Amino acid sequence: MNKIVQRLLIFFVGTPVVVAVVLLSYKNHLAMNIVIVTLCSLGAVELGGLFKKKGMDISAIEVAVLGALIPGAMTLFSSFQINEDFLFGVMILAVIWIVTSRVFCRGAKLKYALEYMSAGFAALIYPGFFMSWIIRMTRWQHAAFVIVVFLLMVITNDSAAWAFGMLFGKSNRGIVPASPNKSVAGYTGGLAASMLIGLCAAVFFPQILDSRRYLAIPAIVSGIFIGLVTGIAASLGDLAESVMKRSADTKDSGVIIPGRGGVLDSIDSIALAAPVFYVVYWFFFT
């Protein structure tokens, strides 16, 4: 199937599915939380594969567990009201495991213990820790609408960047060495799309952009601003993963999603944008 058709199908079929999952509010969006935990585990396995290409020894099972730990603990906190201290306990145990699990090793495993620790910490944090901020958003008032707006900002940013880059970016590519096919036109189109989603959110859901906490800002201005910030973070997330793949001398993080590559290729922008969106929204609107 043509790659363009695949991307269009993913956008027009996948986006409504994503929105539908978010709108399932049972147990504080348990369905969405489970999807996030699963994606983080699979993404961590793909990250472990990139580390293996660099000669670092870490098993797929180990990175799968590390990747799921933080979002899994956050799900227990969010959906089942487990004490928040449980989350910190899980993080402490994970760190202890990463630091001490090579204590009794010999030979090559001992020699490359520091590289293993680096891979372990990376798998614990990326994408799991970043994606867990979406789960944390479920505690907010109007959480479903806020999360949908956030995801649409990132998804449309990615899709518009691809479309504008393909149509208008042939003469302005190569500005970022890690991702030479990305263009100025693509980045501009992506940011415009994110701001447009923010503008639409302000028009149709002004209650989620009430900025009276510190200062009164019109909802339209707030929407455009948070769309811009989220769009910038989403673009940086895509570029950050490109750096990882280029360092590992690979084109895609995996092959699980037709037309997209791996799980990391699909959630890289969401992962980095999630904590940025969370902090900005928390500061101005909660």
State yes or no: pLDDT of 56 exceeds 90.
Answer: no
Q: What pLDDT is stored for residue 98 in this prediction?
A: 94
Q: What pLDDT is stored for residue 214 in this prediction?
A: 66
Confidence of residue 1 (pLDDT cuts 50, 70, 90): low
Q: What pLDDT is stored for residue 58 in this prediction?
A: 84
State yes or no: pLDDT of 77 exceeds 90.
Answer: yes
Q: In this structure, what token pair is assigned to residue 236? A: 């940086």
Percent of the chain with pLDDT over 70: 97
Cut 0.85: pTM above it: yes
Contacts 24+ apart (CB under 8 A), 44-47: 44/68, 44/123, 44/126, 44/127, 44/128, 46/253, 46/254, 46/262, 46/263, 46/264, 47/122, 47/123, 47/126, 47/127, 47/244, 47/253, 47/264
pLDDT by residue (tens digit) across 208-253? 988 766 667 888 999 999 999 999 999 999 999 999 999 999 988 9
pLDDT by residue (tens digit) across 148-196? 999 999 999 999 999 999 999 988 988 888 888 889 999 999 999 999 9
Asked if 195 and 228 count as a contact pair (C-beta separation under 8 A), the reply is: yes
State yes or no: pLDDT of 258 exceeds 80.
Answer: no
Angstrom distance (rounded) from CA 170 to CA 264 = 26
Q: What pLDDT is stored for residue 212 in this prediction?
A: 67
Percent of the chain with pLDDT over 90: 69
